[in-house]
């Protein structure tokens, strides 16, 4: 294969790897954020009658 094609394939694979890491980081952050909201709702329950 030509060097330019190998370079392009490497760049595409690297960019997909970076995107996957970013999406995983966002997913983990949102899970922690959701857990924090749930925990705060349990701590500060409103007495609704």
> What pTM was computed for the model?
0.68
Concatenate the DSSP letters of all residues of the chain into one string.
Answer: --HHHHHHHHHHHHHHHHHHHHHHHHHHHHHHHHHHHHHHHHHT-----
Render pLDDT for 20-42 as a digit per residue (tens, 0 to 9). Answer: 999 999 999 999 999 999 999 98
Here the tokens at position 31 are 């899970």
Per domain, the residue ranges of the chain are 1-43
Computed over every residue of the chain, the mean pLDDT equals 89
Task: Look at residue 48 and tell me whether its pLDDT is greater than 70.
Answer: no
- pLDDT attached to residue 1: 56
């Amino acid at each position: 294969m030509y060097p330019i094609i190998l370079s392009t394939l490497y760049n595409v694979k690297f960019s997909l790897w970076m995107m996957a890491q970013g999406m995983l980081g966002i997913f983990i952050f949102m899970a922690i954020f959701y857990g924090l909201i749930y925990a705060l709702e349990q701590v500060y329950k409103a007495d609704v009658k």
